[in-house]
Structure formats: structure tokens, C-alpha cells
Copies of this chain bind each other. A is one copy, B any other.
């Protein structure tokens, strides 16, 4: 599947409109470029519909949401839906505040998402309105361990059925599922949790990949998750060679996304379907 997905990204250079947080926005823009897309960040209500109209996909990330940008997210999401552009949602910190909870629920109601990506605690919140989340990281109690894998896959498929979105639950083990099929991906490295925004960056790369693959959202999202995990592995290997710390690691992750290609991805992918 990787050949076709990657080829389309490189052919199309998809424009990706992002309404995202100001913490990790630079890394998100750079990793969209590195992945073969082209980023536009714009969040004012007066222009989000114009901007999303010229793009191939829309990323909505609620990392540093506020009243002004929530309205823009909804307006842009509705416009993207109208134009049949895929929209990916990153419910950063869902479960951590009433504002985040209400916003996530409102967005799910008002906008149709093609992909929803979050950690297990965030996704559980979306499904049930409650979670064990502590801040913006998944809680230990929610961790996707081997014995829970089957039930999490079942859960992801059910949530996909309910929302119509591909569900990407990322952590030590990643699950990317639609209502009928799930990919289980074990690429990645634990050190990625020591860099702020690896989740946001992954969501941005999903935006890039699905922007060039409107007809195959599940595989495009799974390819993005695999590519990001592999970048984490390759970057870690390099980091050990040069004895770097966590900020060098951040940079190397983006570097490897800019070096990613079908051959590397096929060789390194740890993915199976269920």
C-alpha cells in the first residue's frame, strides 16, 4: 500500500490548512513540508473558509484553543465538509478541562472528520465523555498493553462506525482503524514522549498524506503513523551515535521525515492488519 500512498503525496504536494496550537506550530509546518506537503496556518474567522477552499485537507488541533479559534475551527470544518476535503482532528487534552471537553463534543457534532488521532485517553474521552487523562498525556491506566489490544481494536472499530472517521490511537502500540479493518503498528520509540508535539506533528503528517489520497483515507493515515514511528526509530539510532539530547532528537525526527521514501518505509514498517 505504501507505494501508491507515497507516490500521490509527491505528485500532488498537497496544501494543508492547519488551525493548530502555537506551541508546536513551527514543527508542524516543517514536518508537513518534510512529508511532501505544503502548510498554510490561518485561524481568523474572516479567512478560514477562503484558505481551506484552496487546500487539499484541513487539520484541526485544539492544543491551545480559545473562543476565537473554536469558531474558526467549526467554520473551516464545515467548509471543508462542503467541499469534500478530508479533515483530521487532534483532540489535544480532551478530558483535561470543561472547555476542551465541550469543544471536542461540539466539533464532533458540527464537523465530519475523516480521521481522528489522539492518545488512548483522549480517544476514550471522545467515545464516552470520560477518561483517565492527566493533562495532555495518556494516563498509565489507559495504556494499550498486549492483553488489552483486542479490546482496543474492537473499541476503535466501533468508534469509527459511530463517527464515520478513521480512528488513530497512538502510543507504544498504534491502532488505525475504520469500521471494518484495523492496522496495528509497533514502530516508534519511547523517547518520542520527551519531545513536545510528536502527536501534533503526526496529525500534521496525516493531513499531508490524506490530502493527496482522498480515496484511501485508512491506508494514508496508517502510512503516516508508520512513517512517523519509523522516523522516531531512525532518529533515535542517529541520536545515540552523536550522543544528543531531546532537542536534537526533535530535529532529527523532522529530518528523517524529509528523508522518508517508499523503500525506507517498506523496509522499516512494523504493521499488520486485523
Q: Which residues of A contact B (CB under 8 A)?
A: 15, 21-27, 29-30, 33-34, 38-44, 46-47, 50-51, 54-55, 63-68, 93, 96-100, 134-137, 194-197, 244-248, 250-252, 254-259
Number of copies: 3
Once the chains bind, are A43 and B23 in contact (CB under 8 Å)? no
A44 to B62, CA, bound (A): 12
Closest 4 CB pairs of A and B: A245-B255, A50-B97, A247-B254, A47-B99
- Chain B nearest CB from A251 CB (Å) reads 4
Chain B residues in 8 Å Cβ range of A252: 245, 247-248
Name A254's contact: one of B135, B197, B246 (CB within 8 Å): B246
A99 contact set on B, CB distance < 8 A = 44, 46-47, 50
Q: Could you say which residues of chain B place their CB within 8 Å of the CB of A51?
A: 96-97
Q: B23, B46, B195: which contacts A67 (Cβ < 8 A)?
A: B46
Least Cβ–Cβ distance between A147 and chain B, in angstroms? 25
Q: How far is the CA of A33 from the CA of B46 in the complex (A)?
A: 34
Q: Nearest chain B CB to A11's CB is how many angstroms away?
A: 15
**A30 in contact with B255 (CB, 8 Å):** no
The answer on a CB contact under 8 Å between B42 and A195 is no
> Are A196 and B29 in contact (CB-based, < 8 A)?
yes
Q: Which residues of chain B are near A247, meaning CB under 8 Å? A: 30, 34, 250-252, 254-255, 258
Known: A46-B67, A195-B33, A196-B33. A40 touches B93 (CB 8 A): yes
Residues A196 and B98 in contact, CB atoms below 8 Å apart: no
Tell me the complex Cα distance, A26–B207, Å. 21
- A44 adjacent to B23 (CB under 8 Å): no
Cβ contact within 8 Å between A41 and B54: no
Tell me whether A34 and B246 are in contact in the complex, defined as CB-CB below 8 angstroms, given that A23-B26, A135-B54, A136-B40 are known contacts: yes
